Structures are given as structure tokens and as C-alpha cells.
Structure 1
């Protein structure tokens, strides 16, 4: 049942966006309440998601050195270089470019695991890798933002807006999730509680995108003219992510399931983690919010394609020989 919800979640988000836009268009007065409720709902989304990341298993995450080397090289060196190249075909609007950079530089730590499981990847290694990805993206994102956005970050004092959100809405749910996982190890009742929380990220994210679509209907319409260009950029990113995983799986001798796990990691991004940063920015930068939400939709359709494509693109030696 949970697998089915995760497999078809893209349609739930799409329906939430359409319903949100209709609500915002016909009942604009209601959207003021949505803007207020958005922050606590985002906090709950991040908390429920972080509880599904094995934060207390950091030691086991480092055991497969070859896989982890390929994972880190791809996510934090090669894919950022690809993002830099994609910016050459991106719109000139600084807010749009900020949204692209924000969302494409942070590897996913939740539905990456789900799609790895659904797509014949190595779920155990995906679970073990998630804490590494989460910690490294927190450390590297400020550096890449400074490298890619540079002068715009300084002139708009973006760091001043990011810091409160980071401590209030990222670190607090992260700490609570870690404490919840620690309690789950000591008390069996908490383990069931953590499993039940695993059902909540998808509906909470649907609620978040509904609220954003409703409260930002004017912005969504204004940004609509750039969506075809963004579709090209995000689709190219997904294709290149799969090809990079193919090259690295061969270079590091990681065929089959481990290679597919690399592909799902490179292709999926932590859109909901960077969303609070974009929402906290001044109105001038608001289009970044639409970019992040749109990327998550493109990505989810892309993951549906990955489920069919990756087993053929990255197969075990015996699988490829039997296919001919």
C-alpha cells in the first residue's frame, strides 16, 4: 500500500497544485491563512521525513568505500559541474537561476530510497547513504551558492535570510528526528511510531504544494512562460544524471543494483529541504519557489521513466548477456 502511494505520488502532487490554483483564484482571501500555516506544515514535513533517514546509523554508512566514493564524487563534484553548465541555457532572471541552483545541488534523502527500492536498486545501501548525503549537502550548499550565485547573494543579503531558516526549520526537525530515532532504539513502541510516520511525508508534501499554489497563484501564472525552458533544463539534468551513473558504475565496478542506486541518487533532489529557504526570501526572489516545486514534479515524472529505463541502462554482466 505504501509502495503504491509512493509510486503514484506525482499524480497526488499534480492534483494538489491544480486544486490549489483553483482555490487561490476563486477564494483569494483564504490564502492569507495558508501563508501562516505553511511554516508549521513544512516543519512537520521535514520532521517526518528526517525520521525515515537512519541518522543513528552513520557508522554503517561508511562501510562500502567504493560505492560511497562514487556517490560523493557524482553528487558533490560531477553533478554540480553539470548544473553550472546548465545555467548557460537558463533564464537570465536571478530568482529563477537561484531556484535552479538551490534545488539541483542537494541530493535527495527520502524518495531516493523509495525509488531505489522500486527500481531494482540496492535499498540497504540507499538507506545507509542517506545520512552521508544529508550532512554533506548541509556543509556544501553554502559554498556552491557562493560560487554559482556570488554577487547576487551578497547584494541581496541572501545569507541573512537563510541562516534563521537553517537553524529554525532545518536543524530543529533534524535534532527532533535524531532524538526520535534514539528513543526508537530503546523503546519498541517508538519503533512503531517511526514506521507510522513513514506514511506522512507524501500527504504533507501534497499539502505544502497545495498551499503554495493557492497562495502564489499570481506568481505561478507569471512564471508560467519560463516553464518550457525549465522543463528542458530539468529533463536534461535527469538524462545526464543517468549517464553519469552509468560511467561511474563502470569506473568503480558497481554493476547492477549498486549502479542503479547511484542513478536514483544523482537524479533525485531534496526539493522540500531547500523550499523553506526560497519561501523565506524577499518577494523579489519569490519565483525561486515556483522553480523548486516545478522541478519536483518534473523529477517525479522522470523517476517513473527511470523505473523502466535504468534496468536496461545499468545491468549486471549476466543480465546484459541474457538480454542479447
Structure 2
């Protein structure tokens, strides 16, 4: 995750994008020219995964839910869009373009089905959206996507026999429920012990560390699996096209919902960003534990995450242009 503070900024997003690209290139080169070292990195991801999981949960602020309880209508709209309409669109796109490549299709479905719980806030702020309401969405998005993960995988990947869905529940318990309890317990203990100001600084440190941990995990994935990925490199252009079509369709979905529900501009911008942004870091961690030894699935998630940043940057410009035309009295600078 990036920053979950009330003033997210774009530099953290730019840093994450640069780190991801460097991690992909560095891991691929290491795995190709020093395969023994690359394999060692690929075989030792557990500590990195647990560190990332702990940081993701430690940064969540569940208290924002109570502060935004009066906005139940918007929260309901966003949840239905993110967990009903967007997964259906994502599955349709993945099935259309990647049916001949089932593992990459599974990776795309996993990427498409999970709404973002981190950097969408930075882009929402830059587009003049409702940040406080967006922060209330974070814990809801995180909890619901983890609960639905086994069900989505069962419904959308029945044709992929290599996935043992019945084991996912147990995996989520040991790799996510227990670490989440530990991280959230530490969160609340430190909040009480350190006080508001020092604890806010602690959260800032956690936010700054998370992109580096994500980059390390991506480097390990590519270092340990570059040979398999290169064997399927011709399919990645089709993968990029799939992600592009998904982003176009989800933008159209957000526009339809915003017009039908008559949302004001701050909520319009927030809904558009939360529908567009996906939670690749958490889904990557879940998938690496629930579906071990599937580098093509992991690669689909990482590539989707990398493409997402320029898309959200463009989307922010589109929203600001729309706000000048449709909401001149509400535009936020």
C-alpha cells in the first residue's frame, strides 16, 4: 500500500511505478544471467510475503467507517459496482481474450475482481474527489475481497483443473486471518501507547516501506520464473490489450452509474477511481500462498499493476476535464 493518510500525494505513486519497473527488469536480468541466484530468490519469498501482508493490514484505518456512516448510499453503490458489475466485466474480458491461455486468464480474473485499497486515494485527491469517504471504503474493500476470493475463483476458473479451490480457505486462515489479527492488534496497541501524533508518524513509515517490499516481491517472482515467462512472451501483448479494454469498460460503467445515481463531482471522482484501480499487491500475496508455483498467474497480476499507473494518471485528467464541463460550481482544484 501507499499512503492511507488524509493527504495522499502522487510522488508515492510515481515511486511505486518506478520501483515496479526496476524490479521487473532487475529480477528478469538476474534470473536470466544468474539462474542459481534467481532461483534462490524465487524460493525464499515467504518472509517478504508475510512482511507485505503485515504492512497492508497495519495501515488500514477501520475507524473511518464510523465517521462516514451517514454516506451509506454511496458506500452501497461503490460496493455493488466493485463486487458485482466489475468482476463480471473482468471475467468477460479475460474469457474473450485469454481463453486459450487458462493460467494467464486466471491471473487476469484475480486482478480484475479486487478493488484497490491504497493508491486510488492519491489519484482521487488529485482529481478533487472525496478522500474521507474513500478512506471508509478501504477496510470494506479489503475484507470483502478476501472473503469473496475463494468464491470468485470457484465460479470463474472452473475450467482450470490445476487450481485446488478447496484448499484456499485454509490458506487464507493461516496466511491472512492470523497475520491480519496480529497486525491490527499491534495497530491498536501502538495507537494507545504512542499517542495520535507519534502513531501517525509510525503509519507514515509503514506506508513508505510498503512499495519497497512490493518491489522486492516482484523482483523475486521474476528472478525465479523468468524462463517460464519468456516462453510465453508473445501472449503478453494480448494481456495488455485485455487490461486496456477492461479499463475502458469500467470507465463507461462508472459514467453510467454516476449519471443514473446523480452523484456530485467529489463522489463521481471517487467512484471512478475505486472502480478503475485494482488491488494487485494484496491479490498477489493471496495468490502466491493459495496457488503456489504458478508464475504465469503472478505475471498477469504484476503486468496489470504496472499498466494501472499511467491509466489512473490519464483518468485523473479526464475527470478534471469533465468536472469543468459538468460540475463548474463544484470543481475542486
Q: TM-score scaled to structure 2, two decimals?
A: 0.87
1:42 aligned partner: 49
Q: Does 1:299 align with 2:308?
A: yes
* Paired residue total: 319
Helix, strand or coil at the partner of 2:45: helix
Partner residue of 2:177 out of 162, 168, 171: 171
Contact kept in structure 1, 2:42 and 2:223, CA below 8 Å: no
Q: Distance in 1 between matches of 2:292 and 2:180?
A: 25
Residues 296, 54 of structure 1: alpha-carbon distance in 2 compared, 3 angstrom cutoff: same
CA, structure 1 residues 39+166, in 2 after alignment: closer, same or farther (shift >3 Å)?
same
Q: Measured at CA, do residues 74 and 198 of structure 1 come closer, stay the same or move farther in structure 2, by a change above 3 Å? A: same
Task: Find the counterpart in structure 1 of residue 268 from structure 2.
Answer: 259
- Please report how far the alpha carbon of residue 267 of structure 1 lies from its aligned counterpart in structure 2 after TM superposition: 1.0
Q: Report whether the alignment pairs 1:214 with 2:223.
A: yes
Q: 1:81 to 1:139 in 2, by over 3 A?
A: same
Distance 1:207 1:282, change over 3 A: closer
- For the 8 Å contact 1:246–1:314, the answer to whether it is kept is no
Q: 1:236 aligns with which of 239, 245, 266?
A: 245
Distance change >3 Å, CA 2–CA 93, structure 1 → 2: same
Q: 1:99 aligns with which of 97, 103, 107?
A: 107
Per-residue Cα deviation, 1:41-99 (whole angstroms, up to 9, x for no partner): 12211221222221344433543022112201210111122113212222422211111
How far did residue 266 of structure 1 move?
Answer: 0.8
- The 3-state SS of whatever aligns with 1:195 is helix
Q: Is 2:111–2:304's contact at 8 Å kept on the other side of the alignment?
A: yes
Equivalence map 1:86-125=2 (5 Å): 86=93, 87-125=95-133
What does 1:1-324 correspond to in 2, within 5 Å? 3-86=10-93, 87-152=95-160, 155-156=161-162, 158-187=164-193, 188=195, 189-280=198-289, 281=291, 283=293, 285-313=294-322, 317-319=326-328
Contact residue 64 and residue 135 of structure 2 kept, 8 A = no
Which SS does the other structure have where 2:86 is aligned?
A: helix
Rounded Cα–Cα distance in structure 1 between residues aligned with 2:330 and 2:213: 44
- Determine if contact 1:278/1:286 at 8 Å carries over to the other structure: no
Report deviation, 1:18: 0.6
Runs of 4+ in structure 1 deviating by more than 6 angstroms, as ranges, are none
* Contiguous gaps of at least 5 residues in structure 2: 1-7
Q: Which runs of 5+ in 1 are unaligned?
A: none
Q: Is the CA contact (8 Å cut-off) linking 1:184 and 1:191 kept in structure 2?
A: no
CA shift at 1:151, angstroms? 4.6
Using the alignment, how far apart are the partners of 2:324 and 2:171 within structure 1?
Answer: 42
Return the alpha-carbon distance in structure 1 between the equivalents of residues 91 and 302 of structure 2.
20
| 1:240-284 Cα deviation digits (max 9, x unpaired) | 22221122122222221211111111111111222134334354x
Deviates more, 1:203-212 or 1:140-149: 140-149
Residues 45, 205 of structure 1: 8 Å contact kept: yes
**In structure 2, what is the Cα distance between the partners aligned to 1:282 and 1:321?**
48
Cα distance change of structure 1 residues 313 and 224 upon mapping to structure 2, 3 Å threshold: farther
How far apart, CA to CA, are the structure 2 residues paired with 1:321 and 1:276?
Answer: 39
How far 1:321 moved relative to its partner?
10
